[in-house]
Amino acid sequence: MDLNQLSLTVQKGSTAKVKELVSDALAQNVSPTEILNEGLIQAMAVVGEKFKNNEVYVPEMLMAAKAMNAGMQVLEPILTATGVKPIGKAVIGTVKGDLHDIGKNLVRMMLKGAGIEMYDLGIDVSAQAFLNKAKEVGADMVCLSALLTTTMPYMDSVIKEFEKDGVRSQFVFMIGGAPVSETYAKTIKADYYAEDAVVAVDVAKKILAKKQ
């Protein structure tokens, strides 16, 4: 099985074909980790690099990420059964008052493709909901998204909720979204700022490598 063909199909965003190729590879006894690393993750690394170089844009990235996730749906039960563990756990959501989710969904899909177990709380998420889920699943990271200048300050409220509960030091906070900046991240004492989904993956891998 030529996993390069799988990678190219993911890059093109052909969801149905990706599922078919992953199933074919498994039928040919290609190891699930090989399919994951050399087919799916490798494809997103290429797409991420093209995105950095302005060769592809958000719609193409979303299509590729959806195709990768389709492949992951086929692979995940087998990876779990063979004892392949995720490299970490992250809770993600768009903060209270904000109903935007395209950027957040892209980050979730990219992080999932990098081998991180993702818990997506959706949009309009309260500080308490972030706190409860992070504690419940034993998350390593909490990822906050906001697309409006009016909802951006709620990120601070989320972090303060964790401080109030006495568990702030147990979690790493990564924030992002159109109005957010590195300066703002420092202001609210978030650990990291990611300007896009590609950077988010790089940052998350560094965070989890430090924790291991």
Nearest partner of 141 among 105, 93, 185, 188, judged by Cα: 93
pLDDT (0 to 100) of residue 159:
98
DSSP 21-56: HHHHHHHTT--HHHIIIIIIIHHHHHHHHHHHTTSS
Q: CA-CA distance, 190 to 173, in Å (whole number)?
A: 5
How much is the pLDDT for 100? 94
Number of domains in the chain: 2
pLDDT at 164: 98
Give me the pLDDT at residue 81, please: 85
d(CA 204, CA 29): 31
Angstrom distance (rounded) from CA 63 to CA 58: 9
41 and 14: one domain? yes
Per-residue model confidence (pLDDT) at position 79:
85
Q: What average pLDDT values come out for the chain (212 residues) when binned by 10 residues?
A: 93 96 96 92 91 91 93 90 89 97 91 92 98 98 97 98 98 96 98 94 92 74
Res 84: pLDDT: 81
8 Å CB contact between 126 and 94: no
Write down the pLDDT at residue 200.
94
Q: Which of 81, 101, 117 is the last residue of a domain?
A: 81
Give the C-alpha separation, 35 to 21, whole Å. 10
Cα–Cα distance measured from residue 153 to residue 199, given in angstroms and rounded to the nearest whole number: 22
**Quick one: 64 and 148 in the same domain?**
no
Structural domain span for residue 157: 88-211
Residues 120, 45 share a domain: no
Name 142's bridge partners: 91, 173
* Distance, CA of 194 to CA of 145 (rounded, Å): 10
Q: ∠ at Cα 81 (78, 82), nearest 5°?
A: 85
Tell me: do 113 and 166 sit in the same domain: yes
The verdict on 117 and 195 lying in the same domain is yes
CA gap 130, 119 in Å, rounded: 10
The verdict on 138 and 121 lying in the same domain is yes
* Separation CA 111–CA 114 (nearest Å): 5
pTM equals 0.84
Whether 60 and 101 share a structural domain? no
What are 174's two structure tokens?
């990564």
pLDDT of residue 211: 78
